[in-house]
Amino acid sequence: MKNLKERGLMLKINRNKKFKALLLSLLLVVFMSIPFASVLAESISGDNIVVESGETLEKTSFLSGENVRVDGDINGTTFITAGNVEVNGTIDGDLFVAGQSTVINGTVKGSVFVAGQNVTLNGVVENTIYLAGATLKVKSQTNGSAFLAGQNIFVEKGTVIEKDVFVGGAKVYQNGVINGDLSSSSDSLSIDGKIGGDLKYSSQNKADFSNNSEVIGETTWKKIEPKSSESAKSVFTTALLMKILFSIIAPLVVWLFVRWIRPEFWPNVAEKIAVSPLRVLGFGALAVVLIPIVSILLMITVIGIPLSFILLALYGVAFYISKIILSVFMGLWFQKRFNWSNARSFWLFLLGLIILSVLGVTPIIGMIVGLVIAFFGMGSIVLSLLEGRS
């Protein structure tokens, strides 16, 4: 009976492939033109990860650890999560980094996306630069534009940015060469370099122009009046963006770690939703409600207090990974529906994770999405445990 249901599901999934081109275009926009032509990814985890000079990784790569240093080359899109990151080699693709301290001295033949506390970019970037952090130092050459958001932002001497620059921060120092326009919103702005286009900036006071500064185009200044409401709104917006970013990166790290130690765990658990979604939903709703009640009853017995704490800890873990499970299911659903290869599975999973993270912070809708995630995730875990036991 189960095989018949699965065959029926596969037949249904393989229908109506006419939307494939439309969906692929949407994914390209969402991932900022990241190519789907990558083959199966390579994942490397540990305390200290080093890609030695002369070494070449030929795949899309995921590197995670306390310290990550890339002295060699990577021929593919690269994702790095670590406390300290240093890139000295060549990345033939886009580079995504989330770390406490990041230094990029090498060449990136794509775009750079970095979020962290301290970010230093000294290398060559062929496309666009996206940096977010407390202190940003840019001494780079790029053929694209730059988007910089932070507390203290330094565009240092020796920097050459061929297109436009968009900056948002507390203190901004422009000492390099910008051949396009500069748009800035900050408390203070200091100009000691060259701007080939227009300068449009918002600040409390006029910018500080040195004798070496040069603005070829027009200069437009908009005075910012200090208002508590605007400050609160800015803080709220920043906090919201950081929350969304964290809700994407943190589950991604968990997904990578579990996939590294047990590759089939995520698809096996997520497959329960595809086989019997209503059954999973029912078991999940019961688990969400009953487990806290059972834990309280165990505490009342005194002797069951240790088991109660263990149960609540597992309950919290299950809640956390529920979003990952549902994201994996969404990726598998798209993959089967359009008969795509496993090479695209990661991108589809990441799309599901982004969608759920954005919906999760939306008022009212976020509450509904949170319940759906909890019910399906918890239900798939419970059914996996029951089937494993039997």
The pTM of the whole model exceeds 0.85: no
Do 120 and 189 sit in the same domain of this protein?
A: yes
Q: Can you say whether residue 229 is alpha, beta or left, with left for phi > 0 and alpha for psi between -120 and 50 degrees?
A: alpha
The pLDDT tens digits of the residues spanning 176-194 come to: 999 999 999 888 899 999 9
| pLDDT at position 29 over 80 | no
Band of the pLDDT at 79, cuts 50, 70, 90?
confident
Per-residue pLDDT, averaged over 61-83, amounts to 86
Q: Which residue has the tokens 């029912």?
A: 282
375: helix, coil or strand? helix
Q: Is residue 240 part of a domain?
A: no
Q: What is the pLDDT of residue 31?
A: 37
Q: Is residue 15 part of a domain?
A: no
Domain that holds residue 320: 250-389
Band of the pLDDT at 19, cuts 50, 70, 90?
very low
Number of domains in the chain: 2
Q: State the Cα–Cα distance between residues 373 and 363, nearest whole angstrom.
A: 16
Band of the pLDDT at 165, cuts 50, 70, 90?
very high
| pLDDT at position 37 over 70 | no
The pLDDT tens digits of the residues spanning 86-124 come to: 999 999 999 988 778 999 999 999 999 888 789 999 989
Do 52 and 85 sit in the same domain of this protein?
A: yes
Do 219 and 276 sit in the same domain of this protein?
A: no
Enumerate residues 6+ apart whose C-beta is below 8 A from 233: none
Q: What is the mean pLDDT of the chain?
A: 80
Do 321 and 368 sit in the same domain of this protein?
A: yes
Do 208 and 331 sit in the same domain of this protein?
A: no
Q: Is residue 13 part of a domain?
A: no
Enumerate residues 6+ apart whose C-beta is below 8 A from 228: none
Band of the pLDDT at 25, cuts 50, 70, 90?
very low
Handedness of CA 279, 280, 285, 286 (dihedral sign): positive
Do 176 and 267 sit in the same domain of this protein?
A: no
Do 173 and 322 sit in the same domain of this protein?
A: no
Band of the pLDDT at 196, cuts 50, 70, 90?
very high
The pLDDT tens digits of the residues spanning 274-291 come to: 888 888 888 888 888 888
Do 215 and 255 sit in the same domain of this protein?
A: no
Do 187 and 258 sit in the same domain of this protein?
A: no
Do 176 and 325 sit in the same domain of this protein?
A: no
Closest CA to 274 of 5, 46, 38, 52: 5
Q: State the Cα–Cα distance between residues 35 and 283, nearest whole angstrom.
A: 39
307: helix, coil or strand? helix
Q: How many CA atoms lie within 13 A of 316 on its CB side?
A: 6
CA–chain centroid gap for 345, Å, is 16
Q: Is residue 135 part of a domain?
A: yes
If residue 246 lies in a helix (H) or strand (E), which one and from where to where?
A: helix 228-261
Do 171 and 305 sit in the same domain of this protein?
A: no
Q: What is the pLDDT of residue 169?
A: 84
Do 200 and 145 sit in the same domain of this protein?
A: yes
